[in-house]
Amino acid sequence: MSGQVTRFPIPAVIAVVIRDQQALLVRRANPPDAGLWGFPGGKIGYGETVSAAALRELREETAIEATAAEILTSLDIFDHDPDGTLRHHYVLIAVRCTYMSGEPSAGDDALEARWLPIADLDPEILPMSADVAKIAHLALDRLDRT
């Protein structure tokens, strides 16, 4: 077994904030998904809860304050090298967050941060990370039920 590399999925969060039929999105500055629009998020720190990680990433990337409401879903994201070799396997946990205060301001690894109408989230028009529109609609549906 010596010399064998053991790799594990990397746990991460995305903060899903919906307000007035709009989703708070950031345009990512770094790989994976550099240049694409997606929810604020990142890796969960050792000893950090899922909710705390979502709120921290939200603050760092957008300057928005919120409370964590519920876990919506999870996604497996596979990042491959150009030759097809698996580079990273992320498990993204989508946390629906309730907006409290602030105006979007890009920070940390975000190029832009803004509210975008959920009705306009079309991957054919707006370059987005995986399942952004689907998760935004799921969050809106859950919000409408509360």
Which pLDDT score is estimated for 48?
98
Rounded-to-integer distance, Cα 11 and Cα 141, Å: 25
Identity at 135, one-letter amino acid code: I
Res. 4 pLDDT band, cuts 50 70 90:
low
CA atoms within 13 A on the CB side of 40: 34
Q: What pTM was computed for the model?
A: 0.92
CA–CA–CA angle 109, 90, 80 (5° rounding): 90
Res. 143 pLDDT band, cuts 50 70 90:
confident
* CATH class, 10-145 region: alpha beta
Which pLDDT score is estimated for 109?
84
The pLDDT of 50-60, averaged and rounded, is 98
Annotated catalytic residues are 112
How does pLDDT run across 14-44, given as a tens digit for each residue? 999 999 999 999 999 987 788 999 999 999 9
Q: Where are the beta strands (DSSP E) in 1-146?
A: 10-19, 22-28, 37-38, 41-43, 65-80, 86-101, 110-117
How does pLDDT run across 59-103, given as a tens digit for each residue? 999 999 999 999 999 999 998 889 999 988 999 999 999 999 999
Domains of the chain, residue spans = 10-145
Rounded-to-integer distance, Cα 110 and Cα 76, Å: 21
Rounded-to-integer distance, Cα 126 and Cα 145, Å: 28
How does pLDDT run across 106-122, given as a tens digit for each residue? 987 889 999 999 999 99
2 pLDDT above the threshold of 60? no
